[in-house]
Structure 1
Amino acid sequence: MKKIKLLLSLFAVAVFASCTTTKDSKEVKTEDKSFAKGADVGWLPQMEATGYKFYDIDGKEKDCLQLLKDRGINTIRLRVWVNPNNDKASGHCSPEETVVMAVRAQKMGMRIMIDFHYSDSWADPGKQNKPAAWAKHSFAELLNDVYNHTFDVLTLLKKAGVTPEWVQVGNEIPGGMLWPEGSSDNFAQLAQLLNKGYDATKAIDSKIKVVVHLDEGNKSEKFRWFFDKATANNVKYDVIGMSYYPYWIKTDYKSTILDLENNLKDMASRYNKEVMVVEVGGDYTEVQNTKEMLEATIKAVKSVPNNKGLGVIYWEPEGEKSWSGYQLSAWLSDGKPSPALDAFKN
């Protein structure tokens, strides 16, 4: 009897150990999946509306989001403008259109990032124009505008069943946003505007991570200057977002990728924040180089200690040049994805 009890005890221990091992292995796999491999696809609805067709490598027509998913993409980033016009490439992306796209992407199993430009069209380091409806508002009114716009868009999303994982407050803002009031020359005011975006986001769901985003992720001095100022002015945020475009700085990625990696690690340790490359892209005609650049960028982000490197997002990979005029898409002239996107499969 004692032998039977002993055998049963040993069996129970073995089963428990087996379950524990299985659980641990599942956790490892889940952790791997937590790395965001993304695409910003703000042009997609208009491409479809104008009749653009997407094809797989076998020549069969397929949903663009499915083509991206098949290549390892698990995250979709969507810009939102306040009152955009109907220009096919520099308009649309209204709150309502963004909700429709977010719902569609989520149904495909994608994670969602919302990128608030706080403008009626493109906001970037060279232009941070206020929406026309806010143009004559005082600074106090602009604070309310940022809060209300952020809160209202996220409320629309929530009502549609989408709570984004990340919300970006401003787009490429080394010079600030909502000029001139929110210029980084007046960082105290910029900080207040950013905090309004943060507060509105957290009022919707405290688990949403708020991203502050600068361009030229390989330039440490720019990031230290900005985020030292942000710290001094008590800016609230969770993630430091970076753009990385070797093409625009007229260098091959091999000469700047180590600078990007070092900056990612420096930002994570210096400010105790998570980091992410929220925009990346390479020349669509240089397929192998772009693929290798993406692989190197993903490796750089994954090398950040303590899992603080969250992911890499390609900007408008589907924006094939004949439709968009954009050189840094990752799509071929025959409507098929560039093999460069296979970098996201690993």
Structure 2
Amino acid sequence: MKKIISFIFFAGIFYGCSSSDSATTAPPDTFYRGMDLSFQHELSGYGVLYRNATGNPEPLLDQVQASGANLVRLKLWHTPDGGLNGLNAVKAYALELKQHGLSLLLDIHYSDTWADPAHQTPPAAWQSLTTEALRESVYQYTKNVVTALEIQGTPPAFVQIGNETDSGFLWNYGKVWDDFDDNWGNLAAIIAKAAQAIREASPSAKIILHHSNVENARYYFEELQPYAIDFDVIGLSYYPQFQTKNLTTVQTSLNALAQNFDKDVMIVETAYPFTFGYDDNLTNYIGDASQIVPTYPATPAGQKAFLDKLTEILKNVPDRKGIGWVYWAPDWVAFPGNEATSTTGSAWENQALWNFDHVVLPAINAFQP
């Protein structure tokens, strides 16, 4: 039997005409129900089939579109091995999103690999730069990638500056943990250059700053507040196994963030199990009742009810500042691969939105407007 472990998982795959004719522009009062499909470039190479409610194979994005989802989040790495999550991959998938009428949330990690509070390694190409050169590189790179999406007619609705940047990012230039707790000015200057580039390249895009924890994010935005950074949305991760299981606390925290900083709030990463079982030999991130909200069991119905409750919570944020949520890796089902075993590998299959037969689960209906 697979050993289940619990540890802090800071998740973060992927991937033409002018922006004025883009099919991905949404009204300003849109409530977003999204999916992070950043694994698709990799999974599609294994021929993974996703089945609709009747059990028949159907292209993933056709099912996503039919579900009522209106946003897809894709992470971008600077110079990744094999091109996974690189700009060309993001651009290619963005074209597919446009064909399905789905808006894009571009999640720029500013790294060649995963970035999260414990890992914020600058791209190899930037690691010997001076502070000023680093800031200029952030500006030019950000402007180039956003411009590239604009040029091909797939402008992002949102651009996220860094991924789960509780500790800062681009260490040690923008690190604010450990011995760098007086480094907030440097972090703010880097973020400001990225924000400037986004405004110049895509004035309609909303800028997101992302913290990994709904209940503990206030300090981060208080530290940045004196620098008057230009951004629009407080992005948050909410995984009950790592954070509060009291949904009243989630509501209170979101309300306070929206009101204290006069920003929209969005949960840009969340997920919930439909079972504690497993479908391969790789350790899962969640596997027992101590890791979930007691009111919502690890069942298909419980998974959907959790997402419905999250929608209710966000819609109850004052002044309509709760603008949506994004489900992280709903497509990361068990698949033949090299994740950690010689057979199959997904650490997430019991939190996917397709079951172990790859048939879509009832939670897909939580994406309906």
TM-score range, shorter chain: 0.7 to 0.9
TM-score by length of 2: 0.79
How far is the alpha carbon of 1:238 from its aligned partner?
Answer: 0.8
Gaps of 5+ in 1: 1-29
Q: Is the 8 A contact 1:124 1:173 kept in 2?
A: yes
Give matches, 1:145-224, under 5 Å. 145-184=137-176, 185=181, 186-217=183-214, 219=215, 222-224=216-218
Structure 1: 4+ residue segments shifted above 3 A = 30-33, 321-324
Q: Is the 8 A contact 1:318 1:337 kept in 2?
A: no
Question: Which residue among 71, 76, 87 is the counterpart of 2:67?
Answer: 71
Which one-letter code corresponds to 2:64 in the other structure?
L
Which one-letter code corresponds to 1:199 in the other structure?
Q
Percent identical: 30
Residues 1:279 and 2:300 are matched in the alignment: no
Q: Is the 8 A contact 1:124 1:171 kept in 2?
A: yes
Q: Distance in 2 between matches of 1:61 and 1:181?
A: 47
Question: Which residue among 51, 56, 71 is the counterpart of 1:55?
Answer: 51
Q: Distance in 1 between matches of 2:188 and 2:99?
A: 35
Question: Which residue among 305, 309, 322 is the counterpart of 2:322?
Answer: 309
Q: Is the 8 A contact 2:150 2:202 kept in 1?
A: no
How far is the alpha carbon of 1:31 from its aligned partner?
Answer: 7.1
TM-score by length of 1: 0.84
Question: Which residue among 332, 335, 345 is the counterpart of 2:355?
Answer: 332
Q: Distance in 2 between matches of 1:206 and 1:314?
A: 26
Equivalence for 1:268? 258
Give matches, 1:245-264, under 5 Å. 245-249=239-243, 255-264=245-254
Give matches, 1:80-99, under 5 Å. 80-86=76-82, 92-99=84-91
Which one-letter code corresponds to 1:200 in the other structure?
A
Q: Distance in 1 between matches of 2:140 and 2:46?
A: 33
How far is the alpha carbon of 1:202 from its aligned partner?
Answer: 0.3
- Residue-by-residue CA offset, 1:235-289 (whole Å, 9 max, x unaligned): 221110011001234x6xxx32111111111111101111111111012422222
RMSD: 1.7
User: What is the SS of the residue equivalent to 1:321?
Assistant: coil
Q: Using a 3 Å threshold, how does the CA distance of structure 1 residues 337 and 181 change in structure 2: closer, same or farther? A: same
Question: Which residue among 122, 138, 147 is the counterpart of 2:114?
Answer: 122
Q: Distance in 1 between matches of 2:241 and 2:274?
A: 11
Residues 1:295 and 2:308 are matched in the alignment: yes
Which one-letter code corresponds to 1:129 in the other structure?
T
How far is the alpha carbon of 1:59 from its aligned partner?
Answer: 2.2
Which one-letter code corresponds to 1:37 in the other structure?
R
Q: Distance in 2 between matches of 1:322 and 1:338?
A: 18
